[in-house]
Structures are given as C-alpha cells and as structure tokens.
Amino acid sequence: MSYWRNDAVCRYYDPELMFPPGGPETAARAEMAAVALSLCSVCPVTQQCAQLARDLKLQDGVWGGVDLGNFPPTRQGTKARNAALKAAARVTEAVTA
C-alpha cells in the first residue's frame, strides 16, 4: 500500500508554491494561490490532504483545494476553514466514487 502523499501532484513542485505569502491580498499572492489551487484540481489525493489539514488544525497554505490563508484566525474563521476542508473532502469523495 502506498502512502497517499506519494501520489500528490504538488509533490513535484516547489513546496513554497503551496504556501502563498500571508498578509494583505496582493496580485502576487492571488496568482500563487491560483496556481496552487489548479494543482489541487487535478490531484488524486485531495480528500486525504484536506483531512490532514483539518486533523492538524492547519491555518495556512493550500491544502485539499482550500486556500487556508483566506480565513481569519478567529473562532468564526476556524469554523469556516473547517467547513471548507470538510466540504473539500466530501466533494472529492463523491467525484471519485
């Protein structure tokens, strides 16, 4: 049985691509996030990736097709982030079923 990360599309790219710089929304950040999200859109392990981010309570980076940098570090932001990751895991599950 192979480890799911071995099948991740982003594995073949610079890891920094998946972590657009924080701070205010800039054109450079938006472009970097868009490239990262496009990798997720063709990745076969998006569900596992989203679940890992949710389990570890990650707060930045692009995981499972979700740009975690879009959610503020507040209770409400945490709830929204978790909901987005949960939805990403379910959508991937439905597509692959």
Confirm whether pTM is higher than 0.85.
no
How high is the pLDDT of residue 64?
93
How high is the pLDDT of residue 1?
43
How high is the pLDDT of residue 24?
60
Residue 3 is assigned to a structural domain of this protein? no
Q: Where is 17: in which H helix or E strand?
A: none
pLDDT digit string (tens) for 68-83? 888 877 888 888 888 8
Per-position DSSP letters for 25-45, written without gaps between them: --HHHHHHHHHHHHHHHT-TT
**Residue with the two structure tokens 């949710």:** 54
How high is the pLDDT of residue 29?
86
d(CA 58, CA 67): 11
Number of domains in the chain: 1
**Residue with the two structure tokens 């982030």:** 81
The range of the structural domain enclosing residue 24 comes to: 8-96
How high is the pLDDT of residue 91?
61
Low-confidence ranges of the chain (pLDDT < 50): 1, 92-97
How high is the pLDDT of residue 75?
86
Residue 21 is assigned to a structural domain of this protein? yes
Residue 2 is assigned to a structural domain of this protein? no
Reference 86, options 69, 64, 70; nearest CA is 64
Residue 48 is assigned to a structural domain of this protein? yes
